[in-house]
Amino acid sequence: MTHSSSNVALSVNVNKVALLRNSRHLGIPSVTRAAQLCLQAGAQGITIHPRPDERHIRASDVSELHALMQAWPDREFNIEGNPFHNLMDHVRAVRPHQVTFVPDSEGQFTSDHGWTFPQDAQRLKPLIDECKALGVRVSLFMDPVPEQMAAARAAGADRVELYTEPYAATWGTPDNAVQLQRYADAAQAASQAGLGLNAGHDLNRDNLPAFVTAVKGLQEVSIGHALIADALEMGYAATVQAYLACLHK
Ligand SMILES: CC(=O)[C@@H](O)[C@H](O)COP(=O)(O)O
Ligand SMILES: NCC(=O)COP(=O)(O)O
């Protein structure tokens, strides 16, 4: 996987492109085309979270994105989800570079917490072992709790993904510095435990620079909602001009 000058890789989550696509039966916007454009623009990876209800990413997207990624051997394909629901079927079928286990319930609005140790250790370990036997790196979605990091490593995880919504939600408030320190401490504990470090959820162009500066050892951020929203806004002017040109030939 290639890296930007900050050494933190950007994996673009294309869930929200699929959400828009699913509102009609026309196949637009294309999820694979969006992923291809993100890779052409320099993104180091593509992330998807195929939920059991297929509200956005569908099983067909997983195989089509897998096929696309074969043309980008230095980029990373990351699939997120609950390994006790539908995730392992996808992992066995396409063997992505990385899988991120997330403890969401079925139908959950969006991810809002990480795994808990020691409670989750015993049931996660065989699935982590299976992924690693398939050659798939395993990252566990975790709250920024330093004491949990060694247990995540003991369960066999290669990396953790720190759930960043509490940091993002306090951006611009006095509480934000306290939150940021929690992430810096969790990152240090993860590093001491021998874990690699990812982060994601509600990261955006405002809150990302301070996070990357404070959280040492960060290897990858996965960003979807804000990035796709920005892509729409940054594209309105050129798009309206293209439609006006159709009208005023
Ligand atoms: C694990 C995580 O934080 C993201 O995958 C997030 O859950 C995105 O999922 P939705 O796009 O379905 O909200
Ligand atoms: N793992 C987080 C992710 O993939 C994207 O989260 P968000 O930017 O859509 O909140």
Q: What tens digit of pLDDT does each residue of 126-178 get? A: 999 999 999 999 999 999 999 999 999 999 999 999 999 999 999 999 999 99
- The answer to whether 51 is annotated as binding is yes
- The answer to whether 56 is annotated as binding is yes
Q: Which two tokens stand for residue 72?
A: 């980008």
CA distances to 52, 76, 129 from 73, in Å: 28, 8, 24
pLDDT at residue 5, rounded to an integer: 55
Active site residue 201: yes
ipTM attached to this prediction: 0.97
155 C-alpha to ligand 2 centroid (Å): 24
pLDDT at residue 6, rounded to an integer: 78
Q: In whole angstroms, what is the distance from residue 86 CA to residue 58 CA?
A: 11
Q: In whole angstroms, what is the distance from residue 154 CA to residue 171 CA?
A: 33
pLDDT at residue 3, rounded to an integer: 44
Please name each of the domains of the chain with its CATH number: 9-248 (3.20.20.70)
Q: In whole angstroms, what is the distance from residue 87 CA to residue 79 CA?
A: 8
Nearest atom in ligand 1 to the alpha carbon of residue 200 is: 3
Q: Which two tokens stand for residue 99?
A: 């899988």
Catalytic residue among 76, 80, 161, 220: 80
Q: In whole angstroms, what is the distance from residue 228 CA to residue 116 CA?
A: 30
- Report yes or no: 204 and 226 within 8 Å, Cβ to Cβ: yes
76-81 and 137-142 beta bridge pairing: unpaired
Q: In whole angstroms, what is the distance from residue 247 CA to residue 235 CA?
A: 19
Q: What is the pLDDT along the chain (249 residues), one digit of tens a residue?
A: 444 457 999 999 999 999 999 999 999 999 999 999 999 999 999 999 999 999 999 999 999 999 999 999 999 999 999 999 999 999 999 999 999 999 999 999 999 999 999 999 999 999 999 999 999 999 999 999 999 999 999 999 999 999 999 999 999 999 999 999 999 999 999 999 999 999 999 999 999 999 999 999 999 999 999 999 999 999 999 999 999 999 998
141 lines ligand 1 (CB under 6 A): yes
In this structure, what DSSP letter does residue 42 have?
T
Q: In whole angstroms, what is the distance from residue 190 CA to residue 199 CA?
A: 12
Q: In whole angstroms, what is the distance from residue 186 CA to residue 170 CA?
A: 18
CB neighbours (10 Å) of residue 33?
14
- Claim: this prediction has a pTM higher than 0.90: yes
Q: What is the CA radius of gyration of the chain?
A: 18
Residues of the chain by 3-state class (helix, strand, coil), percent to 5: 45, 15, 40
Q: Which residues line ligand 2 (CB under 6 A)?
A: 13, 47, 80, 161, 200-203, 222-226
Q: In whole angstroms, what is the distance from residue 41 CA to residue 236 CA?
A: 18
In this structure, what DSSP letter does residue 147 have?
G
